[in-house]
Amino acid sequence: MKSIVILISGRGSNMRSIVEAGMPARIAAVISNQPSAGGLAYAAERGITTAVVDHKAFDSRAAFDEALAAEIDRFTPDLVVLAGFMRVLGEGFVRRYANRLLNIHPSLLPSFQGLHTHRRALEAGVKVHGCTVHFVTPALDHGPIVIQAAVPVLPGDDEDRLAARVLAEEHRIYPRAVQWFIEGRLDRKSTRL
């Protein structure tokens, strides 16, 4: 059975969608960089091991990345899933988990990389917005795309309404991408770092 470690920073709604999908994999741990992350309580209530590697306790990104990797490696995961994990990870960390590190981003990549995607989509006047699951590479939000989902941008939308529709699609497609990984249906050899 494949083993998964999920990284979160907040409420963990994408982590929940993966846990509740009931796929044939073991969620070995949920790890957060935020001690107060709401998703930790959810995971613990379901008997999933939780851990915190607080990024504020480290004086450099490299030191944090190394400590985070050491915690992840305790669980020997086949897959590491970034589910609302709000830290940029360094090149060494990304290479360590090459071809087995997935992220979900709230835009239709390559559009609107980085933060504030819903606001930027509204400001740009796009008619379609969405989300993307991709393999992580050292270039931020540039990894090979696994799956995307689109939602219409409706008249009168604000950031919150648009974000809610996008989040519903994230919860639908992220478990699907993880399932594909578990089933060996993703061509990970095509991911070049």
Catalytic sites, residue numbers: 105
- Whether residue 77 has a cis bond before it, omega within 30° of 0: no
Integer Cα distance of 135 and 116 in angstroms: 21
Contact 18, 175 (CB under 8 A): yes
For 54-92, the DSSP string reads: -GGG-SSHHHHHHHHHHHHHTT--SEEEESS--SPPPHH
Which amino acid, one-letter code, is at 16? R
